[in-house]
Amino acid sequence: MAIKNPPHEFPIERTVPGPRSEASAPASVTPPPLACDAHCHVFGPAESFPFSPSRSYTPPDSGIDDFFALQDRLGLSRAVFVQASCHGTDNSAMVDAIGRAPQRFAGVAMIDDSFTDDDLAHLHAHNVRGIRFNFVAHLGGAPDMDMFWRLVHRVAPLGWHIVLHLDAKDFAQYSSVLDDIPVPYIIDHMARVPAADGVDQEPLQLLLERMRTDSKCWVKISCAERLTEGRIAPYDDVVPIAQAVVAAAPDRILWGTDWPHPNLVDMPDEGHLLDLLGRIVPDETLRNQILVDNPQVLYEFGS
């Protein structure tokens, strides 16, 4: 298997806060059976799953037991764990979390050229169905693009997809990259467009046009708490942006909490985020499609 992160010396200095200790139950949205949180993470516990030596932040432990409690409170059934940069390419914590409920959970890994075909087969057997690349500046910027393409073509035969974490200001420059990706790809967090710039801003319009014209393009309507002006609730300015995204390609929309919200100061209440989805998508049939049917297409839960 790929090299694991070396163990820590304790105590570890945490550089970012953790999530709220307890989410509210949603007040206006009742999730349907099999509803999915399609973007969340597990961090540690560091004693068992060390963080990457090259990480840009060190979060508090937010492990699978904490996540089970969150799902119970929100009324959700399924989840997609997305590997975060603080664990680097050591996907052990994510694989362990998936293994706790393999009929309910799937994953998106981070990999590099050290991964063998056997490593990829191991991840596939543990419900991993995609790989993620960070392009955002505060997490280290764009990957080596030669390696990017090598990895994209290596996972394509597995039927995996590609997850891209981009800054809005950089969206236009990666247009040709998106054109050439041969498999479905997901744009995280609505391309991080700043809500204060409104629905007419160029990065959002480019994203909407791509969604309408490229059937491989999926988008997560997540992280309102990062897109809103001032980064505090109630996130009203995000609603019209997310509604425009949903209208562009409703069958290629995912929703997630982004729990445990790395690198935030003002932590959102996940129950409020689920209620926000109700404001973005008031039609229950469409909302249930986003929570159940759309993630099933990519992650084949229970199969």
Catalytic positions, please? 258
CA proximity to 113, closest of 86, 80, 143: 143
Residue type, 123: L
Provide DSSP, 64-118.
HHHHHHHHHHHT--EEEEE--GGGTT--HHHHHHHHTSTTTEEEEE---TT--HH
Interatomic CA distance for residues 252 and 246, integer angstroms? 8
Residues 6 or more apart in contact with residue 245 via CB below 8 angstroms: 190, 204, 207, 208, 211, 219, 221, 253
Distance of CA 211 to the CA centre of its chain: 18
For residue 124, give Cα distances in angstroms to 211, 245, 252: 27, 30, 22
CA proximity to 40, closest of 255, 219, 185: 255
CA proximity to 107, closest of 85, 81, 79, 84: 81
Interatomic CA distance for residues 97 and 42, integer angstroms? 7
Q: H/E element holding 298?
A: helix 294-299
Is 170 buried (19+), middle (13-18) or exposed (0-12) by CB count in 10 A? middle
What are 277's two structure tokens? 């989805």
End-to-end CA distance of the chain: 25
